[in-house]
Structure 1
C-alpha cells in the first residue's frame, strides 16, 4: 500500500494476522458479523532497560501500585455519614433562606 506523509511517499505492508472464523455470529443493523479467533497468540516484546541522555527508562512502563483500602470502623463511618447529612441540611436551609430573601427584596 502506497502512503504519503508530509510529501514523502512510502510503502506500508500491514502485518498479516492468521485468524479463524468463530462460531458466534449474527446480524447487527442489517449487517452480518462474526467473531474471529487468533490462530497464534501475539508475542510480547521483551522488557528492555534503556537510557536516554543519562535517564534510565523501560519500554514497558510499570503500573502504579494500588493503594491499600483504609479500614474504618462502623462507628467512624456512621459519624461521617451523620456529619455529611447535617452539612447537606445546613446548605439546603441556607440556599432556601437566600432564595426567599431575594424574592422579598432583602438581598
Structure 2
C-alpha cells in the first residue's frame, strides 16, 4: 500500500495475522460472528538500547539494565502502613477544616 506523510511517500505492508475460526459465536444485529484464534503466537519485540540527549533508555516501560527490586513486606508491615496512611489522611482532612474555619472567621 502506498502512503504519503508530509509529502514523503512510502510503502506500507500491514502485518498479516493468520487465524482459525473458533466454534463459539452467535448473531449480533443480524450478522454472524465468531471468535478467532491465532495460529502462531505474537513475536515479542526485542529490547533496544536507545539514547536521547546522552541519556540511555530502553524501548520497554521499565529499564531492564537497572531492575527495581521490590522490598518484601509482611502482613504486619502492610497493616501498619495502611493505618499510618489512614491517620495521615485524617490529619489532612482536619487541617483543611481548621484552615477553612480560620478563613471564615477572619484569622
TM-score, with structure 2 as normaliser: 0.54
Q: What is the CA deviation profile of residues 39-71 of structure 1, one whole-angstrom value per residue up to 9, with x for unaligned ones?
A: 1101111222322221111100129999x8633
Distance in 2 (CA, whole Å) between partners of 1:13 and 1:48 is 23
Structure whose alpha-carbon radius of gyration is higher: 1
Q: Structure 1: where are the runs of 5+ without partners?
A: 88-107
Distance 1:56 1:17, change over 3 A: same
Distance 1:13 1:54, change over 3 A: same
SS at match of 2:83: coil
**Superposition pairs of residues 19-38 of structure 1, within 5 angstroms:** 19-38=19-38
Matched with 1:41 is 41
Match of 2:82 among 71, 75, 79: 71
Distance in 1 (CA, whole Å) between partners of 2:47 and 2:28 is 41
Distance in 1 (CA, whole Å) between partners of 2:49 and 2:40 is 27
Q: Structure 2: where are the runs of 5+ without partners?
A: 98-107
Aligned residues: 78
Distance in 1 (CA, whole Å) between partners of 2:8 and 2:51 is 30
